[in-house]
Structure 1
Amino acid sequence: MSFKPCHSLHLTLPCPPAAAVGLSAVLLTACAAPGNQVASAPSSSTASAKEASAPTPRLVYTYDGGLAVLDAKSLEAVGGASLEGFNRLNPAGDGRHVFVSTGDSFRLFDSGAWTEPHGDHSHSYTTAPALTDLKFVADKAGHVVLHAGKAVLFNDGSGKVESFDTSALAAAVDDGKLPATDIYTTPEAHHGVAVELEDGKLLVTLGNEESRTGIAILSAGKGQDRTEIARNEDCPGVHGEAVAAGGAVVVGCTNGMLVYKDGAITKVASPDSYGRMGNQAGSEKSPVILGDYKVDKAAKLERPTRISLVNTETASLHLVDLGTSYSFRSLGRGPAGEALVLGTDGGLRIINPLSGAVTATVPVVAAWEESETWQDPRPTLFVQGTTAFVTEPATQSLHAVDLKAGKVTKSAKLEHTPNELTGVTG
C-alpha cells in the first residue's frame, strides 16, 4: 500500500503501513534488481510528507562525513545524512533525487522535495531528506550526464555506460527499485564520459588507463548492438562534456575542443600547442560553450586567468583574460546563457558569451587560493534559475546572488564546511 496524499496518482517513494514494513522489506530484498542495480525498501520518511503551496527548491552539499540539505530560498537547514569518504554529487534528473558517487556505486539520495502532475495542475510535497539504499553498483563511479531525457552513468574502472529514462525514475523508486537500464561497455576502461543524444545515438570517449584520445559516435540501439558511425582521435586527454543551444555536444582536449553537431565532429584548436579546455559549462540558451584554459603542461596546479568561449555555430574560439584565477568549480551559466566565472579575488563575473565582455562583477566572498589537492573544499558555484549560489568554506558560509539584480541577497552560516554543491528544483 503506497502513501498517496491528496489526489496524487504517483508518489515517488511509497511508505507502507507500519505492520507491512517488515514484509515489504523482505519481499524487496528477495527480488533481484535488473543489471547490477541494488534495491531495497525506500526510506520511510515519506510517511511524514506534507503538501507545499509550490515547488520547494533545495540545495545539497557534501562535507567531511556526510551530506546536508538546505531550503534554497531561506538557506535554512532541513536535514541530511552521514556518509564517510569523499563523495561527489550529481542531479538524478527528476527534480528530487541526487546521485552520490561513492566509488563503488552511484547511490540515490532523496532531497525530500518533489512535484507531481495532476491533470491541469500539480501538487508539491516536502519531507525529510534521506540517503536511500537504492544504488547502481559501479567500478569507480565517475561522471553522470543528463541530456535528452536520459541519465548516463560512466564507470571509470570498467568502461560500463549505464543509461535510463529520467521520466521512469519516480515510478521505479515508488516501487522500491531503480529504473531499467541499457548497458554499453567501451572497448577499454578509462576515466571517461558518455552522452545519449536526442536521436538515440551515443557519444562515448575513447581511451584506456594510459591515455585518452577522443570520441566515437555510436548508432542508436541497445547495448553492444550499437555500431560506430564516426570518430575523432585528435583530442588528447579528452575530459568533460557540455551541451549548447541547438544540440551541439562538446568535449575538452589538451589542444582544444571537439564539437559534435549535425552528424559531424569538428575540431576547434587551441592557439597554443598545449591549451587545455578540460572543464566546460553549456547552456540551452547559448551556442557558446564556456571552458577553462590552461597552457602549462608541467604545472602541478596551474592557476589560469584566461577562459575559453567556443562558438559551436561558427567553430571559433575566443580567449578572455579575466585578470584573476579561478578553479574547476568556478564555471556556470546564467538563465539567459550568460557565462559566469567565480574568481579567486572573490568576484563573480557575468560575461557576454558572444563578445566576451565582462558586463558585471559581483563581490561575493573574500579572496581565496585554490588548493593543490583537487578534493579539498574551495568556493564553489552552483546556479539554479536566476540565483547563483556560492559556498565559502573559509567562513563555513553560503551566499545567494540575484543574477538579475547583480548583488548578494542572502547569506547563511552552515553547520559544516561545504565541499561539493548541487540542487534540485523540488
Structure 2
Amino acid sequence: MRPSSFRRAGVFALAIGATVGLAACSGGAGTGSAAPASETAAADTATRVALSYPGGIYVLDGESLEVVADLPSEEFTRLNSAGDGRHVMVTMSEGFQVLDAGTASDEPALTDLVFEAAKPGHVVTHGGKTVLYADGTSDSTVFDTDALLGSTDTLPEVETVPGVEAHHGVSIMLEDGTFLTTVGNADGRNGVVATDASGATIAESADCPGVHGEGTAKDEVVVFGCENGALVYDDGAFTKLTAPDQPYGRMGNAYVSEDSALIVGDYKSDRDAEGYLLDQLALIDTAAKTQRVIDMPAGAEYTFRDVARGPGELAYVIASDGAIHVLDPETGAFTESFPVIEAWEGPAEWQDAHPAIKVSGDIAYVTEPAKNAVHAVDLTTGEVVESATLAQTPNEMALTK
C-alpha cells in the first residue's frame, strides 16, 4: 500500500528532453512537429477511427470509413483514446506514443511524442485528466486531457504518482483530486487504495483478488472488477459486492456511462474454462450497491472487446452469432438484436484479431477481421450505414470521440 504520509504535491515535472523520443520500430512515421492543434480544431473534427494491424495503424474517417492514413508501427500495439477528441495513445515498446488523428485540413501522424513507461498498460480518461499506467513500475502519469491539443513538439506538464510494486494495474483521478490505484505485486493483485490530493490515504481495501479494470459511473462512483465480485468506491468508502458464484465469479472489465448508475461487466464463473468466449454478463447498480448475473441469448457469446455502451444508456454486444444484441441494464433484458457480420469463433489468444465494437454517439463501429472489414452501424435503427474493406486485418480499435 502507498503509505499515508506520501505527498503528491510537488511531483510535477515538465516532460521534456529524454522523455521525448521516437519509439523503436515505428519506422520514422512521426515528425514531432505535426500541424498545430487547437481546441477549436479538435471540436470541429468528426470522429476518426484508429485500427491497428501487424506492423501498422490505419486512421479512418468516421463517416465515410475512408483510410486517411496508413502509419507504420510495431508488430502488436494497443490503442486507447486520449480523451481530447483528436489523439490516440499507442502502446509501444518505449511507452505511450501519441497518434495525432488529424483534422479535415491536417494529416494524421504518429508523432515523436512518447510518454515513457515500462510495459505501458491501461489508459483512463475522466474529469479532464488522462492517466497512463505503467505495469513495469506501477507508476501513474497524469496530465490535463486537453493539454496535447496545444502541444506539437513537447509533451505537456505531467504529474507522476510513483507506484509501490510493479503489477498489471490501473489508476484513475477524480475531479476533486482523489487518486485511486490498484495494489499488487508480481505474484498477484488484491485491492485498491484511495488517496487525497496531498497523498493521504482516504480508504483502502484488500478484498479484491485479481483486481482488474475500472469504470466510473454517475456521481463519480468507481467500480473495479475482482475474481469473486467487484469493489465499489463511493464518497470516500469501499463496498465489496460478492459475485453469485463462489469462490470464483470474475468481472474483469466495466462498460459504463458516466450518466448512469448502472454498470455492465464481463463475467466468467469457471476459472478453468478454455478459450476467451463468455456467455454471461455482470450487472451492477452502483447506487443500490448490488450485483447480479444474466445469461447471454442462446448461441451468443462475446469477449472483452465486444461490449459497449451507447444510446439510451443501453449496452450493445457484438456476439459470436454476428449480431449486435441490445441489453437494457435496468431490467437485465435483451430487447432486440440485428445482424451485422458473419458468425465467428473465439480467438486462440486474447491478442489475436477478433471482432470489436466501439461507439460514438448513435454510431457503432464493428470490426470483422475474417473479411478485413469494418462497419458503421446506426444503433437507433440497426442499419449498417457504411462498410469498408481494408488491405490488412484490423485488430485493436480506438475512436477519437
What is the TM-score when the length of structure 1 is the normalising length? 0.84
State the partner residue of 1:423.
399
State the partner residue of 1:210.
187
Preserved CA contact (<8 Å) 1:238 1:251: yes
The alignment status of 1:95 with 2:82, answered yes or no, reads no
1:6-405 mapped onto 2 (5 Å cutoff): 33-34=15-16, 37-38=19-20, 42-43=31-32, 46=35, 54-113=44-103, 125-171=104-150, 173-174=151-152, 176-221=153-198, 226-273=199-246, 274-322=248-296, 323=298, 324-405=300-381
Aligned sequence identity (%) = 45
CA RMSD of aligned residues (A): 2.1
Q: How many residue pairs end up in the alignment? A: 376
Preserved CA contact (<8 Å) 1:285 1:336: no
C-alpha distance in 2, partners of 1:151/1:36?
A: 21
State the partner residue of 1:414.
390
C-alpha distance in 2, partners of 1:328/1:156?
A: 19
Per-residue deviation, residues 189-234 of structure 1 (Å, max 9, x unmatched): 110000001110100001001010010001113xxxx122211111
C-alpha distance in 2, partners of 1:95/1:54?
A: 9
C-alpha distance in 2, partners of 1:257/1:293?
A: 11
Cα 1:151/1:366, change in 2 over 3 Å: same
C-alpha distance in 1, partners of 2:277/2:177?
A: 38
Preserved CA contact (<8 Å) 1:80 1:130: no
Cα 1:205/1:410, change in 2 over 3 Å: same
Per-residue deviation, residues 91-126 of structure 1 (Å, max 9, x unmatched): 11221111101132100011012xxxxxxxxxxx53
State the partner residue of 1:15.
none
State the partner residue of 2:11.
none
Query: Which fold has the larger relative contact order, with Cα–Cα distance below 8 Å and residues 6 or more apart in sequence?
Result: 2
Per-residue deviation, residues 272-327 of structure 1 (Å, max 9, x unmatched): 11000001111022111110110111234253211111010111113221122101
Q: Which amino acid aligns with 2:225?
A: G
Larger radius of gyration: 1
C-alpha distance in 1, partners of 2:333/2:259?
A: 17
Preserved CA contact (<8 Å) 1:98 1:111: yes
C-alpha distance in 2, partners of 1:129/1:378?
A: 25
C-alpha distance in 2, partners of 1:198/1:316?
A: 25
Preserved CA contact (<8 Å) 1:296 1:302: no
C-alpha distance in 1, partners of 2:72/2:345?
A: 28
Per-residue deviation, residues 118-141 of structure 1 (Å, max 9, x unmatched): xxxxxxx53221111100111000
Q: Which amino acid aligns with 1:126?
A: S
C-alpha distance in 2, partners of 1:399/1:393?
A: 11
Preserved CA contact (<8 Å) 2:42 2:149: no
Preserved CA contact (<8 Å) 2:48 2:399: yes
C-alpha distance in 1, partners of 2:286/2:105?
A: 40
C-alpha distance in 2, partners of 1:139/1:206?
A: 17
SS in structure 2 of the partner of residue 46 of structure 1: coil
What is the TM-score when the length of structure 2 is the normalising length? 0.89
Cα 1:367/1:85, change in 2 over 3 Å: same
